């Protein structure tokens, strides 16, 4: 059970745009939450510098050299900072068993296309929009889903549709979808905090 006032951790590999929007919403009084920690697997991630300048605890935990050790370190650091709900903000690594065990049902990711049809390994960023355009579907969208062991396969908890317009390219569709994502993440977290959107119980902690 998540306590009143979300205690958030963030994962980012690059800019962390959703994390920025969420922290800004907290500081503007638009979301009852406490941003506890941002972790990146990339030492050069702009999100790390931004987080430190914003007064948010920020750590780099590289994943390639020691995936098992980095997974255990990530789970431990999130727990040590009192994180109850993890937001993936452009984090391009699959989570390991230690983190998923501790935060089962408590890790959220945003995906820039309909799931499950346009998800999976390697399906991120413009690749998703290229696939949507190539498929000729009339509608794309933004999905927020729970994270599990497989890329983009966890249950979707919130969706927002985006019409594919005549003459759309991957670039124009990407621009419209990307513009929606940060505010939609904030809105979804607000609904979770307010009890309007219920995450599965119980969380499995390890």
- Find out whether 113 and 125 touch, Cβ atoms under 8 Å: no
Whether the CB-CB separation of 204 and 104 falls below 8 Å is answered with: yes
Given the residues 81, 111, 129, 145, select the one marked as catalytic. 111
Q: What share of the chain is helix, strand, coil (3-state, %, to 5)?
A: 35, 20, 45
Tokens of 198: 């219920």
121 included as an active-site residue: no
Nearest partner of 12 among 101, 191, 160, 54, judged by Cα? 54
In which element (H, E) is residue 59 found? strand 58-60
Question: 57: helix, coil or strand?
Answer: coil
Question: Mind telling me the catalytic residues?
Answer: 111
């Amino acid at each position: 059970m998540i306590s009143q006032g979300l205690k958030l951790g963030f994962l980012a590999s690059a800019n962390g745009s959703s994390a920025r929007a969420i922290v800004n919403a907290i500081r503007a009084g638009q979301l009852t939450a406490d941003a506890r920690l941002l972790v990146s697997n990339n030492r050069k991630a702009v999100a790390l510098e931004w987080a430190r300048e914003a007064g948010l605890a920020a750590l780099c935990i590289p994943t390639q050299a020691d995936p098992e050790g980095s997974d255990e370190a990530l789970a431990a650091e999130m727990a040590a900072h009192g994180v109850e709900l993890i937001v993936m903000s452009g984090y391009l690594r699959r989570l390991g068993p230690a983190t998923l065990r501790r935060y089962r049902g408590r890790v959220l990711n945003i995906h820039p296309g309909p799931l499950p049809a346009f998800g999976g390994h390697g399906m991120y960023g413009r690749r998703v929009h290229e696939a949507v355009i190539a498929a000729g579907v009339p509608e794309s969208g933004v999905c927020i889903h729970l994270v599990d062991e497989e890329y983009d396969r966890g249950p979707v908890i919130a969706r927002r549709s985006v019409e594919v317009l005549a003459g759309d390219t991957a670039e124009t569709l990407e621009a419209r979808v990307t513009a929606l994502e940060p505010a939609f993440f904030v809105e979804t977290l607000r609904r979770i905090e307010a009890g309007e959107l219920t995450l599965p119980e119980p969380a499995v902690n390890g």
